[in-house]
Amino acid sequence: MATSIATPAVELHNVTKNYGNVQALKGISLTIEQGEVVAVLGPNGVGKSTSIALMLGIRRASLGSVTLFGENPRLANHRKHIGVMLQESGVPETLKVRELVELFGRFHDNPMLTSEAIKMAGLEDKANTRLGRLSGGQKQRVYFALALVGNPDVLFLDEPTTGLDVEARRGFWDQINHQVAQGKTIILTTHNLEEADALARRVVVINQGQIIADGTPDEIKSHVGGKHVRFRVHNMTAQELDALVGTRSLHLMGNKFEIYTREPEALLATLFRQGAELSDLEVVGAGLEEAFLSLTGN
């Protein structure tokens, strides 16, 4: 009950943002409640980073209102409850990791111990290293420590795993999920659909400055409605199969065929009628990737 009357973590109401003659956001409204884990998804340059910049108070809405815990994020003091990992942000190269994390802890009322944040980001052995001597991946960890150290209620993660290798990315996801387990509100932008699927309970898709979909990853996927039908066929060639399935997309994956279709039943009926001998048959729902492509019309 208490949560239902709590102030939303973030609220955008009819927000428009213009850069000169370019309209980056075209009247979007979005409410993110406390405790939600939301992925803001979209191709590059469609308003994703702009919406985050507005939520953080880095930029001002041209029209409409933006609030952070019911308050104006443009005022510095209202940003005490948030931790931010920002794309294209830099840190002074001559400071040491420990000094910078300590500084960011002091921006908040109840920070973690600096050493704790450094440990959570996996930087114990780099604590006394100057930032200028870190690799890109290590710097990314520093940004994560900076976001965490204040013990914020909301974590903003702008493209948090860009430039990380697969292993580092998984490790990072574990850390995020650890934060989720503690009930933190998390707002992340990504163009990596696997990431949105792995972390978020809610996906907001932005394209051309508008929110074109908002729901759970499963709901977003169901927008597509199509299925992948995969099988091996023993008595037909690719050409015969191609003629049979007509306009539907046919891929050869290893020694299996994969067909994407909105009517898997009809497709299978046709195949069986033609006497196709199938094995290893699978019918699976389309992923977030296909949903995304279909939603953004690419």
Partner 1 sequence: MTTFSSEHIAQPSPTILTTHRKAAPWGYFFYCEVLKIFRNPPAVLFGIAFPTLFFLIFGFSLNAAYAPTILASYAAYGAFIVSFQTFSISLATERALGWNKLLRTTSMSSALYLGSKLLVIILTGVISMLLLFAVAAFSGKVHMGLLVWAQLLGMMVIGMIPLSLLGLFLGFLGSANLTLALSTILTLLLSFASGLWMPLSFLPDLIQKIAPYLPSYHLGQLAWNTVGSPSGDGHLWLHLLILIAYAAGFAVLAAWAFIRDENKNFA
CB nearer partner 1, residue 87 or residue 222: 87
For partner 1, which residue of 8, 103, 244, 276 counts as binding (CB under 8 A)? Answer: 103
Cα angle, residue 86 at apex, residues 291 and 214 outer, rounded to 5°: 25
Count of residues touching partner 1 (by CB under 8 A): 41
Three-state secondary-structure class, residue 40: strand
Contact range with partner 1 by CB under 8 A, out of 93-101, 185-193, 250-258, 274-282: 93-101
CB nearer partner 1, residue 91 or residue 168: 91
Contact flag: residue 47 with partner 1 (CB under 8 A): no
CB nearer partner 1, residue 178 or residue 262: 178
Task: Give me the residues paired with residue 227 across strands.
Answer: 261, 285
Q: CB count, 10 Å around CB of 194?
A: 14
For partner 1, which residue of 25, 38, 50, 111 counts as binding (CB under 8 A)? Answer: 111
CB nearer partner 1, residue 62 or residue 270: 62
CB nearer partner 1, residue 26 or residue 119: 119
Cα distances from 129 to residues 47, 82, 93, 140, in angstroms, run: 36, 26, 10, 14
Contact range with partner 1 by CB under 8 A, out of 23-31, 100-108, 238-246, 265-273: 100-108
Contact range with partner 1 by CB under 8 A, out of 85-93, 220-228, 251-259, 273-281: 85-93
Cα maximum dimension of the chain = 72
Q: How far is the CB of 150 from partner 1 (least distance, A)?
A: 8
What burial class does residue 110 get, using C-beta atoms within 10 Å of its C-beta: 0-12 exposed, 13-18 middle, 19+ buried? exposed
Q: Which of residues 127-166 bind partner 1 (CB under 8 A)?
A: 130, 146, 151, 156
Phi-psi domain of 89 (left: phi exceeds 0; alpha: psi -120 through 50; beta: other): beta
Between CA 269 and CA 266 the distance in angstroms is 5
Contact flag: residue 116 with partner 1 (CB under 8 A): yes
For partner 1, which residue of 48, 79, 98, 228 counts as binding (CB under 8 A)? Answer: 79
CB of 113 closer than 8 Å to CB of 150? no
Reference 212, options 32, 43, 5; nearest CA is 43
Residues that bind partner 1 (CB under 8 A): 56-60, 76-77, 79-80, 82, 84, 86, 88-92, 94-95, 99-100, 102-113, 116, 130, 146, 151, 156, 178, 181-182
